[in-house]
Each structure stands twice: as structure tokens, then as C-alpha cells.
Structure 1
Amino acid sequence: MNKLFLIIAIISILMTSCQSDSKKYTTVDSSIMSEKQTGYTAPDECFEYVKDKSTASLRMYGTGDNKVLGELNYKFDGKDKNNGVIYGLIKGDTIIVDYKFQSEGMYSHREVAWLRKGDQLIEGYGDVYQVNGDTKFKNINKLTFGKSIILSKTNCK
């Protein structure tokens, strides 16, 4: 029941952010949300990154059919923290998501990719471009993995 409440809260946040600037933000893929709400209960997975005073945390909710949604937070030393939600697809050992987040009171939207290696998610980097203020990868097939952020699986809290 708590998971259902969390999912409804995420939907509400996304819908509110989408309505605040309808040109800039799109709605969440309804098929992902409807699958999670109908009771599909793939296990949650949690990951974290900790280095010195910088942290990142990810909680993913599998929805079946290689779709994923969840929460992603970055807090890097000397930078503003980012808190938001993800939704996207799992393609083999690669996870590609849209990340809608808030930082400094502003909403932003960018793509994030990870390569799964055992109990780790290695964040991918590559050339990006802007589309209506959203940041997208130019070519998903040319991403570089392993430069800095490696999330390790942890127990969900």
C-alpha cells in the first residue's frame, strides 16, 4: 500500500510540474504508471554512490516489460542538489531514463543512462543536445561508461 501511495505521489508531482510549463515538460508514459498501479510487484532496487562529501541515490521500481520508474537524487559537494523522478526502459544491460528534477527551485529534464555490471550501475556520458530546453544524448550507442559515478546496490530503506 505504501508503494501505491508513493507512485500516486510521484504522478501528482509530475503532473504538477508538467502543468506549470506544458511546452517544456511532457507527461509520464501512462503505460509505465498504469502497470505499476495494477499491482505488478517487481522487487524494488536501490543503489547509492558515496565519495567524500558527494552522494547519489537511486530507487527503481520495475514495472515489467523492461520498463522502470523511480527516484533519483544527486548531492555533490559544492553544487546544488537535484531531486527528481525517472522513467524509462531497460535494454539488455543498459538502462535509459528521462530524469525530471528540481534544482534551485527550477525544474529540468535530461536523459540519464547506466550500464548494469553485477550489483553496480555505471553512469554513461556522451555528447548531448537541447530540445525545447530538455537535454538529450546525441547518440545512445556512443556513450562512455565508467568515468566517475558508479552506483552500488544497497538495501532499500
Structure 2
Amino acid sequence: MRKLFAAFAFITTAILSCQSDNKKYTTVDSTIMSGQETVYTVPDECFEYKKDNSTASLRIYGTGENKVLGQLKYQFDGKDKNSGDIYGLVKGDTIIVDYKFQSEGEYSHREVAWLRKGDQLLEGYGDVYQVNGDTKFKDIHKLIFGKSITLTKTNCK
């Protein structure tokens, strides 16, 4: 019996010593283990701009946080339409997003900003620069809002 126990101890030690130190660890969210989920109930918000033959539409998905996700479309009279996804942050009454869009088969990326005034979003404009093909604002604090496109809240379709 002692020989069997010694053999078992030897084999177990040998197996354990051969295992790699590169163990994979899994982090488990405690809410999963407790059976509780965090559910955000902020509804989607939709906004539109219409003037003559030009339109713009924005749908912001309700995240319940200071993060913004959504879809944006522009179709200006005499220009190519573009549409794509937005993601970014809400800072007070200002929304600043990255807009990844497609226009005439080409993909582009630029920053967009809005100032919330009640049920309206005033689009911001300012000096920009290019970084690796992406268009960014030079200084977010110097943006001018309300001089061009004003999106008005509407029912989501």
C-alpha cells in the first residue's frame, strides 16, 4: 500500500511540475454569479434636420451612461449622401463623437459635436486637422454651435 501511495504521489508531483506557468485566468462578473443584471432603461433618442432638399438624421441608442452610440446620416442637396456609426461621450450638455461613415463606397472618419438645447442638438463647427486620414477638431472648446445644422428631436421609427 505504501508503494502504491508513493507511486501516486510521484506521478501527481510530476504532472503538476510539468504544467506551464502561463495559466489563463477568467474574471467573472459578480452580477452574473448573483443572478442580478444591470439593465439600462434609457430609451433611444432620434433627431432630424430638414431644409429644402437636405436632410440629416441621428439615432442615439440609450446606454444609460455618459457614452453615446448611434447612427448618423447626412443627405445634402447636390452632395453625396453619407451614413455610418457614431460613438463617443456626453460631457454636460455637449456630445462629442467619432463618426465612421461611408460615402460613394469610400470609408471616412471624422469628429462631430453637438450642443444640447432642450429638444434640439446644435451641430458644432471649428478648425480641424487630419491625423492618419481622420478629421479631428483642433480645439473642442472653440467650437461654434448653432450656425448651421440644428437637429430636432422626433419619434424614433
TM-score of the alignment, normalized to the shorter chain, above 0.5: yes
- TM-superposed deviation, 1:65: 2.6
The alignment partner of 2:141 has SS state of helix
- TM-superposed deviation, 1:39: 4.6
- TM-superposed deviation, 1:64: 2.6
Which region of structure 1 is more displaced relative to structure 2, 47-56 or 63-72?
63-72
Letter of the structure 2 residue corresponding to residue 140 of structure 1: I
Task: Summarize the alignment of residues 138-157 of structure 1 with structure 2, pairs less than 5 Å apart.
Answer: 138-157=138-157
Aligned to 1:109: 109
Structure 1 unaligned residues grouped into runs of 5+: 1-37
Task: Summarize the alignment of residues 86-105 of structure 1 with structure 2, pairs less than 5 Å apart.
Answer: 86-105=86-105
Matched-pair identity in %: 84
Q: Deviations over 1:46-83 (max 9, x none)?
A: 00000000000000013133101000000000000011
The alignment partner of 2:109 has SS state of strand
Runs of 4+ residues over 6 Å off in structure 1 = none
- TM-superposed deviation, 1:40: 2.7
State the TM-score, normalized to the length of structure 1.
0.74
- TM-superposed deviation, 1:156: 0.2
In the aligned structure 2, how far is the partner of 1:82 from the partner of 1:57? 11
Letter of the structure 2 residue corresponding to residue 143 of structure 1: L
Aligned to 1:130: 130
The Cα RMSD (Å) is: 1.0
State the TM-score, normalized to the length of structure 2.
0.74
Larger Rg: 2
In the aligned structure 1, how far is the partner of 2:98 from the partner of 2:147? 20
Letter of the structure 2 residue corresponding to residue 119 of structure 1: D
- TM-superposed deviation, 1:42: 1.5
Letter of the structure 2 residue corresponding to residue 144 of structure 1: I
Aligned to 1:58: 58
